[in-house]
Amino acid sequence: MNDTIVRIERIEIKNFKNVGYGHLDFENAKKAGKASILGLYGQNGSGKTALIDALELLRCSLTGRTVPAYFADYINVDSEYATIKYGFKVSSTQANCVYSVCYEVSLRRDLDHTEHNTEQPSGEESYKAVLFDEVLSYSYECGDKKIRLSPVIDTRTDGNFAFLPVTKYQTIVGKNKEISTSLLVAKQLARATSRSFVFSRELLNIIRQNCKEDYHRFLVESLVFFGNFQLFVITTTNAGLISMKALPLAFNYAEKGKASIGNILIKLNEPSLIPESALNVVHKVIDCMNVVLQQLIPGLTISVMDMGAELYPNGKPGYRIQLMSNKNSKEIPLQYESDGIKKLISILQLLIVIYNKPSMTVVIDELDSGVFEYLLGEILRILAEKGKGQLVFTSHNLRPLETLDKGFIAFTTTNPQNRYIRMINVKTTHNLRDFYYRDIVLGEQNEPVYEMTNNSEIAMAFREAGNPDAS
């Protein structure tokens, strides 16, 4: 898969959280072929995190993981189900082929009847999130051969086939009745366990063994590989872990053809026990980060203090380590650095990979949390101008509006039926930050981007809340 590049190009969201409908193109048409950056800005509660959660749902689907039960609560209160469409561009440099792919999935809320469910107190009903009506479609160009957009796996059927169209089914699966029966069982099992059927291990194995068309197999395997190894979604949970004295260290590190990919949680307020196999990876990742870190924060590097081998309770070997901060020839535990530095360290290795690899996509909620605004703007400028990968982020800090091309920025609106827009009538001479402030006040876009507040009413509310006896 080294010659394959997968990019998320667009998303369409219906009835998910506070988004009745929203459509957003991720690519900047004027900067095609370079880094793909998308920064989403808007008022609190206007749909920014909904985008991040929708991309986390995508990662769950592509990796065949169980969708967490809390996604059941993300369905809009006025709807029975939510539907999300994801558009991808999948290109193979070796075969000179380009695929335009659409993956559509619906999400509903079902009662969880499993006996082992302990999330709810006794006597209370618990729910799970169920994926259904999955459709995978694509068009492609490969040399002189072109195929228009059409479904290759459409699970919207309850008949004798696990998916339609029948012609595609027979090409992918064949006519073996035992395989057909096992697929129907796998489809029901995927729904019962809140997993994607399209990207399930059961269907993937059958495609690998029976598919007669290489491009069907290539397409599914490319998306599965992307979800498992090239798509990282960093939610605000990371910031919560940092405030609780833990560092979630995300990484995608490759050396001499061997890749190490994952996320290690390292305690900061005490020595942390990590697997023996992870010790060398942590050292390598931190050495890599230090090259950039000392340029972002002059003179600062971090190091790993090895505190000896120790067995896990299950008998597996591990190592105790302590992360240290080094500046001005003085070494202190990393826990005493600011949360902003810890946040930067936790994602820095991923930013390095975005800069160097076109096949990498990183999604970060509240990227600006604790990061000095000037530094944030400069990092994003560098990634946009010279990077190769894809970065999607939300932020409240408006500094990037002054450093990024307007095509890299989108905004939320106050209209739940049209949640995401790009600013119109923005000239190259305009400062997008000032333009955004102007629009908040004057409302010159087709949709309002801010629900106005009244300062005098806010002041009165503060006064009333502080003097309950007066009311």
Residue whose entry in the numeric block shows the structure tokens 């095609």: 32
Least confident of 68-72, 100-104, 422-426: 422-426
Share of the chain above pLDDT 90, in %: 49
What's the CATH number for 1-166+226-236+365-471?
3.40.50.300
Q: Do the beta carbons of residue 339 and residue 239 sit within 8 Å?
A: yes
CA atoms of 235 and 332, how far apart (whole Å)? 28
Residues 296-334 pLDDT 10s: 999 899 999 998 999 989 889 999 999 999 988 889 999
In the predicted model, is pLDDT for residue 44 greater than 90?
Answer: no
SS3 for 342?
Answer: helix
Q: What is the pTM of this model?
A: 0.90
Q: What stretch(es) of the chain map to CATH 3.40.50.300?
A: 1-166+226-236+365-471
CA atoms of 282 and 260, how far apart (whole Å)? 10
In the predicted model, is pLDDT for residue 149 greater than 70?
Answer: yes
CA atoms of 232 and 393, how far apart (whole Å)? 12
Confidence of residue 155 (pLDDT cuts 50, 70, 90): very high
Task: Tell me the mean pLDDT in the region 189-211.
Answer: 92
Share of the chain above pLDDT 70, in %: 95
Provide the H-helix boundaries in 304-415: 339-356, 373-386, 400-403
Confidence of residue 123 (pLDDT cuts 50, 70, 90): low
CA atoms of 25 and 8, how far apart (whole Å)? 9
Least confident of 153-157, 297-301, 455-459: 455-459
Confidence of residue 45 (pLDDT cuts 50, 70, 90): confident
SS3 for 392?
Answer: strand
Least confident of 15-24, 71-80, 255-264, 345-354: 255-264
Residues 162-191 pLDDT 10s: 999 998 888 888 888 888 899 999 999 999
Element (H, E) at 180: helix 177-192
Q: Do the beta carbons of residue 427 and residue 31 sit within 8 Å?
A: no
In the prediction, which pLDDT does 450 show? 80
Q: What is the 3-state secondary structure (H, E, C) of 196-243?
A: CCCCCHHHHHHHHHHCCCHHHHHHHHHHHHHHHHHEEEECCHHHHHHH
In the prediction, which pLDDT does 103 show? 97
DSSP string, 440-455: HHH--SSS-S-----H
CA atoms of 412 and 69, how far apart (whole Å)? 27
Residues 427-450 pLDDT 10s: 777 778 888 877 777 777 788 888
Q: Kindly report the average pLDDT of the chain as a whole number.
A: 87
Least confident of 34-43, 80-89, 118-127, 442-451: 118-127
In the predicted model, is pLDDT for residue 258 greater than 90?
Answer: no
| Radius of gyration of the CA atoms of the chain, in A | 24
